Chains A and B, each alone.
Chain A
Amino acid sequence: MFRSVSELIQITEDQNIPISEVMIQQEIEESSKTREEIFTEMERNLDIMEKAVEDGLKGVKSRSGLTGGDAVLINKYREEKQPLSGDLLLDVVSKAVSTNEVNAAMGTICATPTAGSAGCVPGVLFGLKDRLNPTREEMVRFLFTAGAFGQVIANNASISGAAGGCQAEVGSAAGMASAAAVEMAGGTPEQSAQAMAITLKNMLGLVCDPVAGLVEVPCVKRNAMGSSQAIVSADLALAGVTSRIPCDEVIGAMYQIGQKMSSTLKETAEGGLAATPTGKALAAKIFGSAAE
């Protein structure tokens, strides 16, 4: 079992197989399920993600009223105007936002790696679909590659906002998505690791400070930014740009920063945006109506 990104890359080089294949083979070994069973299970997750993206683009609203409808706005703007950041990037962003709006509105999502960070991976995957024209199998493989990097983070740092802040949730999700995007675009495993390192470096220190403790503000927009960073990092890595700090050391730094982060900034809704005057006023309004 690979314990680090460097071990993961070493296996791909020794056996001349992609990252997704390493993850699939490990899952077969660990679960004693067949390749077909594992593929079917992951394809079901892919179907769930696709439906969430579609549902959100039709327009949803959360129970609290804090989030919903932004994916529709972004998509409309993308279709009618010339987005400054480009069509592909805004397509990715609208699909990431769509997923998290569906999550906030109690729709069905696939946690990747958590519910609050569920937008980055499908946003990048479905946003790249028209550009790269992947087969269904390649799309399923995207998820195994993302999962391989997520597993290294989960075992060496954290994927929980309560334990490591938002860097551990959206940071991990964005890093996973960028690494998988590289593989789908035809990059090398080493370039996947570079993309992951570049993304995660830029997410270090991000706190988890949800208004009213709800998975809405700022979580939905953090997925928008996370997914766009994933695309930019993937491009940097594919261009041959490398991280001066190796991927495993970036993960180590993320863990250390999470340990030092105050608990008021780790999913307790006691600090950061949650503690702003508006954040507190929104919380009072939501819980006030909840107490009726």
Chain B
Amino acid sequence: MKYRSVFDIIGPVMIGPSSSHTAGAARIGKMARQLFGRQPEWAKIYLYGSFAKTYKGHGTDVAIIGGLLNYDTFDERIKDAFRQAEEAGMKVEFIEEEGSSDHPNTARIKIGDKDGDFELVGISIGGGKAEITELNGFELRLSGGSPAILVMHNDRYGAIASVTKVLAEHEINIGHMEVVRKEQGKDAMMVIETDQVIPDDVMNQLGTCDHILQVVTIAD
């Protein structure tokens, strides 16, 4: 049984017109905003495939900006997102990419401010569901369907154990986990999907673990 909840059928509440091109796009933007952890000052958004061809008609552009402003899929301000971005001091640029991508509805989002920048690739897989497939050059798969923690760390023994030990102490169950690295012994990243939202004190504790560089979280 793929559909188990009545709210999969009567729902979600969303800004139209398309669950894939609007609601899904907003979710990609919001995941980027949450992972960056603060309001970016600039955003460059590269659109591929069907996103590149139909983004104006579907409002994919304002949906992504709305997400970057931390709006939900049903936030009416999405329609007015260009002006809202200006007021929030965020410069926005859209680039229509000619090249193909693995998925027809793909966006690459680069965001940043004077303290740093951040890059991810998101895909909208239908029905308002979105996934992150790349983050700062790391390939991964993050659905945003459950709360998640992303941990940048040194590729050393014990790093993973130190993080999972903290989660176990706080009785937080891991639903899915993957570890990716660019090169042996250099930077690596853990993606941990959990059953519960991660409280701030647990996040702070994770940040002090051995070999951990940075910890960010997204809640649904």
Contact = CB atoms under 8 A, between A and B. Distances in A.
B171 interface: no
B13 A216 contact: no
B18 A115 contact: yes
Contacts of A41: 7
A26 B1 CA distance: 13
A287 B3 CA distance: 35
A238 interface: no
B175 interface: no
B126 interface: yes
Interface in A67-91: none
A151 interface: yes
Interface string A23-57: 10011001100000010011011001000000000
Given A42-B10, A106-B22, A106-B59, A160 B15 contact: no
Interface string B122-135: 00001110000000
Given A106-B22, A214-B54, A112 B9 contact: yes
Contacts of B55: 290
B10 to A, nearest CB: 5
Nearest to B18: A215
B78 A150 contact: no
Nearest to A148: B6
Nearest to A1: B1
A287 B54 contact: yes
B5 interface: yes
Given A1-B1, A106-B22, A155-B2, A286 B10 contact: no
A102 to B, nearest CB: 7
B11 interface: yes
Contacts of B12: 110-111
Given A64-B57, A214-B57, A147 B9 contact: yes
A155 B9 CA distance: 11
A27 B56 contact: no
B146 to A, nearest CB: 14
Of the listed residues B8, B9, B12, B126, the one surrounded by the most CB atoms of chain A closer than 10 A to its CB is: B9
Nearest to B22: A106
A290 B47 CA distance: 13
Contact of B57 (A114, A146, A286): A286
A134 interface: no
Q: Is the interface of A mostly helix, strand, loop or mixed?
A: helix
Contacts of A115: 14, 16-19, 22-23
A102 B16 CA distance: 7
Contacts of B96: 291
Contacts of B17: 62, 103-106, 115-116, 214-216
Contacts of B8: 113, 151, 154
A213 interface: yes
Contacts of B57: 63-64, 212-214, 286-287, 290
Contacts of A150: 9-10
Contacts of A44: 13
Contacts of A109: 13-16
Nearest to A30: B4
A27 B127 contact: no
B1 A3 contact: yes
A42 B13 CA distance: 11
Interface in B15-65: 15-19, 22-23, 50, 53-59, 62
Given A106-B15, A110-B12, 13 more contacts: A27-B5, A48-B74, A62-B17, A104-B16, A106-B17, A106-B22, A106-B59, A110-B11, A146-B9, A150-B9, A159-B9, A216-B17, A290-B55
28 contacts: A3-B1, A27-B7, A45-B13, A62-B17, A64-B57, A106-B22, A107-B15, A108-B74, A109-B14, A110-B11, A111-B11, A112-B10, A115-B14, A115-B19, A116-B18, A143-B10, A144-B6, A148-B6, A151-B6, A151-B9, A154-B9, A155-B3, A160-B126, A162-B126, A214-B17, A215-B16, A215-B17, A286-B57
Interface of B: 1-19, 22-23, 50, 53-59, 62, 74, 76, 78-79, 96, 126-128
List 7 tightest A-B contacts by C-beta distance, closest first. Answer: A103-B16, A150-B9, A147-B6, A290-B56, A154-B3, A215-B17, A147-B9
